[in-house]
Structure 1
Amino acid sequence: MSDALINGLAGAGGGIIAQLITYPLQTVNTRQQTNRDPKDKKNLGTFQQMCQVVKHEGWERLYGGLTPSLVGTATSQGVYYYFYQIFRNRAEAAALEKKMLGTGDGSVGMFSSLIVAALSGCVNVLLTNPIWLVVTRMQTHRKESKRTLSDPRLSDAINQTTLSTVELRAYGTSHVIQEVYDEAGVLGFWKGVLPTLVMVSNPSIQFMLYETLLAKLKKGRASNSVTAIEIFLLGAIAKLGATVVTYPLLVVKARLQARQVQNGDKRHHYKGTWDAIIKMIRYEGFNGFYKGMGTKIVQSVLAAAVLFMVKEELVKQTRFLLSKPKLV
């Protein structure tokens, strides 16, 4: 089994476990990001918002879109780590070649690590964007009751189109796929791909920080090994730095992928990335780009830390099992 395949499968396994642990936080965060009302002054905490969802919509809404999300996570992490290892191997080979020619010390530098992570991220985004669009739709879907449908206090935008009899049916994966296709055809599944491609800088920054910190930690150790707890902490620190820098792009992506009411308030209808950015600045101010950032930091840092820890352990155990001599 190739090293790239081992890392790809381990990344998929680590991603699934991290997703299962942090999914309710992710659902709440996506709702915070797609809240387009600049007059909303509730400022409920993450735990309070989770309680509100459970109270009004049931426990299952915290896990809306979990199935496609797990598929997306396994696919995304598998694809990312597989291509990351391939590109990483090539970068290491190039570094060793330069050392033989008398330039460099044979190690992959910070800039090369950034390029490797960026290339892996681009491949991952192009292949998995449709899955994450479906997940975003399911996370932001709000379960409404018949009583609410007849409530005259609802806004005009809701009364016009969003709450029809179709809302009372199960909002499953197949329904979302059909909905997206009816709205914009096949290309509709790549909504938000531009800010997502730009956002490859997030895992790029994350892996650059992670690899740099890991190299420094290993340096000077005779065994050249690190513990699972140390990997957990390194993953958390790396993800924290990347999330703070790239969060506004994540909000724009979520806005574009969430369902938009065609006949509703035009301030909340986005034609594309730049239209979304301009309208958010005009109607919500720069604060709109940081909605739910606290929740995202907790969710993403915890998920990344678990992912790194589990992935490294899976890689280590797999290599150990493959290296054991076969009994004749």
Structure 2
Amino acid sequence: MSDNVAHALSGAGGGIVSMVLTYPLVSISTRLQVQKKSNSEDAYKNTLDAFVKIMAREGPKGLYSGLSSGVVGIAITNGVYYYCYEAVKAAFEKAKGKGTPLTTAQSMAAGALAGAAVVLATNPIWTINTRLTTRKGDRNGKSADGFFKTALKMLNEEGPQSFYAGVRAALVLVMNPIIQYTVFEQVKNFISKKRQLGNFDFFLLGAVSKLAATSITYPYIVVKSRMQVKSKDEEGYNSILDGFRSIIAHEGIGGLYKGISSKIVQSVLTAAFLFMAKEALFDWAVWALVLAGARPAKNTISKA
């Protein structure tokens, strides 16, 4: 068995760790993204105001609304992404000769193919998660439906197509991991020529690469989130371009960047924890596969 499965398992594990650690920021940034009216008493003014109001009205549970679906989603997302990414990367390396670093174009191609596979496989999970995250409950969580109840309600009231709301924007957002992993690979290759990288290096590489990706693609994230929470009774966007036009017309340019401060902090920390945890878990994943008999013990471990 190739290292692709080990990369998938360690990526899924790293994703779960990073998601659990940063989920309150996920909740806050998502609620700010979908908030269209900012002048009401209940509206969130900024990240700190959102945190205070969620804690006051819903308690700590409010910050973790939809966590279970988020954990499942990130595990599947990272598992599929890393498996596909490493498979494409291995194909490029085989064609070029093992040990030859990927070019920028090859990193982008690998990221695009892996990202598209992830979107098609996980968009239903993230659509449900977005609805769970943005649904306001009380301190006892009485008004909050669970994952399966929400899914069934969407299926009955809006049809199966509702699970792929915002999928076009999500496919455009494939450029987010392309930017992220291209920056990560190129900087990693540059530094590795000078010295061996440690866990903290991977933490910093993850943070820097994600900062670049999120800053560039954030307006698409806002449009995607709003398309995902639209119900059949609400007026939605006909397309990505319509979403951009509508937001700018009613909220100005700033509407495209609602919640960006908490999102950047969350994205950077998530990526940093993810890359650090993935590297730490990789050897454990290989060891588990060897014990399970799914991989020969004599295989050489390769994180590259």
Larger Rg: 1
Per the alignment, residue 115 of structure 1 pairs with: 109
Which of 207, 211, 217 is the aligned partner of 1:236?
207
Per the alignment, residue 155 of structure 2 pairs with: 181
Give, in whole Å, the separation in 1 of the partners of 2:89 and 2:205: 19
Measured after TM superposition, the shift of residue 173 of structure 1 is 1.2
Measured after TM superposition, the shift of residue 271 of structure 1 is 3.6
Determine whether 1:53 maps to 2:54.
yes
CA contact (8 A) 2:206 2:275 kept: yes
Per the alignment, residue 194 of structure 1 pairs with: 168
Give, in whole Å, the separation in 1 of the partners of 2:117 and 2:297: 34
CA contact (8 A) 1:38 1:283 kept: no
CA contact (8 A) 2:8 2:78 kept: yes
Per the alignment, residue 159 of structure 1 pairs with: none
CA contact (8 A) 1:95 1:107 kept: no
Per the alignment, residue 268 of structure 2 pairs with: 301
Per the alignment, residue 92 of structure 1 pairs with: 93
Q: Deviations over 1:145-204 (max 9, x none)?
A: 9xxxxxxxxxxxxxxxxxxxxx95441112211222134311110000001000010001
Flag the 1:140–1:261 CA change in 2: closer, same or farther, 3 A: farther
Which of 141, 148, 157 is the aligned partner of 2:135?
141
Give, in whole Å, the separation in 2 of the partners of 1:24 and 1:44: 17
Measured after TM superposition, the shift of residue 277 of structure 1 is 2.1
Determine whether 1:245 maps to 2:246.
no
Per the alignment, residue 36 of structure 2 pairs with: 36
The residue type paired with residue 70 of structure 1 is: V
RMSD: 2.3
User: Which structure 2 segments of 5+ residues have no match?
Assistant: 291-295, 299-304
Greater alpha carbon shift after TM alignment, 78-87 vs 178-187: 178-187
Per the alignment, residue 7 of structure 1 pairs with: 7
What SS class does the counterpart of residue 254 from structure 1 fall into?
A: helix
CA contact (8 A) 2:14 2:273 kept: yes
Determine whether 1:310 maps to 2:277.
yes
What SS class does the counterpart of residue 63 from structure 2 fall into?
A: helix
Per the alignment, residue 155 of structure 1 pairs with: none
Greater alpha carbon shift after TM alignment, 312-321 vs 124-133: 312-321
CA contact (8 A) 2:166 2:224 kept: yes
User: Which structure 1 segments of 5+ residues have no match?
Assistant: 98-104, 146-166
Give, in whole Å, the separation in 2 of the partners of 1:208 and 1:40: 42
The residue type paired with residue 254 of structure 1 is: S
Per the alignment, residue 248 of structure 2 pairs with: 281
Flag the 1:140–1:51 CA change in 2: closer, same or farther, 3 A: same
CA contact (8 A) 2:38 2:45 kept: no
CA contact (8 A) 2:32 2:44 kept: no
Flag the 1:70–1:43 CA change in 2: closer, same or farther, 3 A: closer
Q: How many pairs were matched up?
A: 290
Flag the 1:62–1:111 CA change in 2: closer, same or farther, 3 A: same
Per the alignment, residue 16 of structure 1 pairs with: 16
What SS class does the counterpart of residue 197 from structure 2 fall into?
A: coil
